[in-house]
Amino acid sequence: MPIKTIFVTCGATVPFPQLVEAVLSPRIVEELLNLGFKRIIVQFGRNYRESFTQSINVDQSLPPSQTYLGFNGDPVHGFSQGSSGKLEIIGFEYSTRIQDVIQENADLVISHAGTGSILDSLRLGKPLIVCVNDTLMDNHQQEIADQFASSNHLWACLPRVDDVVQCLRRSQTERTEPFPSAYNRNFEKALEDLAYGTSN
């Protein structure tokens, strides 16, 4: 029987510690266990390995897993204990095959609001929660997330525990609109305008 898994991606370049801290918080761990999740895989980005390792119970005895498909570097493997069980945690910096990791493992994705990461999940038909990094300068992530959310393709929030919990619950009871597989130049142009600030 497949292990119900949530995949979290912070992007490969800019660290997003607020998102990692939120998804590993005791309240969200408990919420995930209550929703039937048994494993969380976190792509935490560059230069965050030490902080990530310190935030979980590392278990060196856990056997290698096929979940490590395409991971670059040694994954951090551990767990978080909740009142209703144990949540397996796997963390890694980045992957050259991130779409394969999502396709093979994710029942639900939580992502930063980068356009590439959003499209990776939506094109694979995975339910998606987007957390906006509101600490970035010249940040258009909120507008990008709102554009997708207004089309009912995903749930969007800030990386606050209460907000993420609400989106997790919605993801288990609501259905989003499938992302169109056909090329949509108007939608792409709207995203470019948001991301790069063009007006024509």
The full set of domain ranges for the chain reads 5-196
Q: How confident is the model at residue 115 (pLDDT cuts 50, 70, 90)?
A: confident
Give me the pLDDT at residue 195, please: 56
Per residue in 126-148, pLDDT (tens digit) is 999 999 998 887 668 888 899 89
Is residue 47 within 8 Å of 94, Cβ to Cβ?
no
Q: How far apart are the first and last CA of the chain?
A: 51
Give the Cβ contact number of residue 86 at 10 Å.
14
118: Cα separation from own chain's centroid: 9
Q: How confident is the model at residue 152 (pLDDT cuts 50, 70, 90)?
A: very high
Using CA atoms of 61, 63, 67, 72 in order, give the dihedral in degrees to the nearest 10: 70
Please provide the DSSP assignment of 109-168 as one string.
Answer: EEEES-HHHHHHHHHTT--EEEE--TTSTT--HHHHHHHHHHTTS-EEE-S-HHHHHHHH
Q: Annotate 59-75 with b (16+ C-beta within 10 A) or e (fewer).
A: eeeeeeeebeeebeeeb
Average pLDDT, the chain: 85
Pick the CATH number of 5-196 from 3.40.50.2000, 3.50.50.60, 3.20.20.140, 3.40.50.720: 3.40.50.2000
Q: Token pair 């990386």 is at which residue? A: 159
The mean pLDDT value for 19-45 works out to 95
Give me the pLDDT at residue 43, please: 93
Q: How confident is the model at residue 200 (pLDDT cuts 50, 70, 90)?
A: very low
Q: What does pTM read for this prediction? A: 0.87
Give me the pLDDT at residue 66, please: 45
Q: Which of 86, 94, 73, 93 is nearest to 3 (CA)?
A: 86
Q: For residue 183, is pLDDT > 60?
A: no
Per residue in 59-110, pLDDT (tens digit) is 666 555 544 555 656 788 888 988 889 999 999 988 888 898 899 999 999 9
Q: For residue 186, is pLDDT > 90?
A: no
- Burial of residue 103 (CB within 10 Å: 0-12, 13-18, 19+) is middle
Q: Which of 52, 60, 72, 63 is nearest to 8 (CA)?
A: 52
Annotate 65-90 with three-state secondary structure.
CHHHCCEECCCEEEEEEECCEEEEEE
